[in-house]
């Protein structure tokens, strides 16, 4: 993985949003939504990447 863009650190952890932080498809009123998965620099807290667990639910 590339070093942190903020501090150059190379130690990363994984996190995910819970509860209100879920992402829902824009055009669907009723969906469970999916959490955002974050890769976080352990040295400065910079979020290196954000992705969703199940991208297929966003297909139109
Ligand atoms: Zn960093």
Q: Which residues contact 21 (CB under 8 A, 6 or more apart)?
A: 35, 36
Question: What distance in angstroms lies between residue 37's CA and the mean position of ligand 1's atoms?
Answer: 17
pLDDT at 31: 80
pLDDT at 21: 85
pLDDT at 50: 94
pLDDT at 33: 87
Yes or no: say if 54 and 34 are a contact pair by the CB < 8 Å rule.
yes
pLDDT at 32: 83
Yes or no: say if 38 and 52 are a contact pair by the CB < 8 Å rule.
no
Question: What distance in angstroms lies between residue 12's CA and the mean position of ligand 1's atoms?
Answer: 9
Question: What distance in angstroms lies between residue 9's CA and the mean position of ligand 1's atoms?
Answer: 5
Q: Give the mean pLDDT of the chain.
A: 92
b vs e for 8-44, b when ≥16 Cβ sit within 10 Å of the residue's Cβ?
Answer: ebeebeeeebeeeebbeeeeeeeeebbbbebbbbeee
Q: In the chain, which stretches have pLDDT less than 70?
A: none
Q: Where do the structural domains in the chain lie, given as residue ranges? A: 12-58
Question: What distance in angstroms lies between residue 24's CA and the mean position of ligand 1's atoms?
Answer: 29
Question: What distance in angstroms lies between residue 1's CA and the mean position of ligand 1's atoms?
Answer: 13
Task: Give the length of the chain.
Answer: 60
pLDDT at 53: 87
């Amino acid at each position: 993985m590339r070093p942190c863009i903020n501090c150059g650190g190379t130690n990363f952890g994984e996190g995910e949003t819970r509860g209100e932080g879920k992402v829902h498809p824009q055009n669907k009123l009723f969906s469970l939504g999916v959490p955002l998965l974050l890769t976080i620099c352990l040295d400065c807290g910079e979020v290196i990447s954000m992705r969703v667990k199940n991208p297929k639910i966003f297909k139109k």
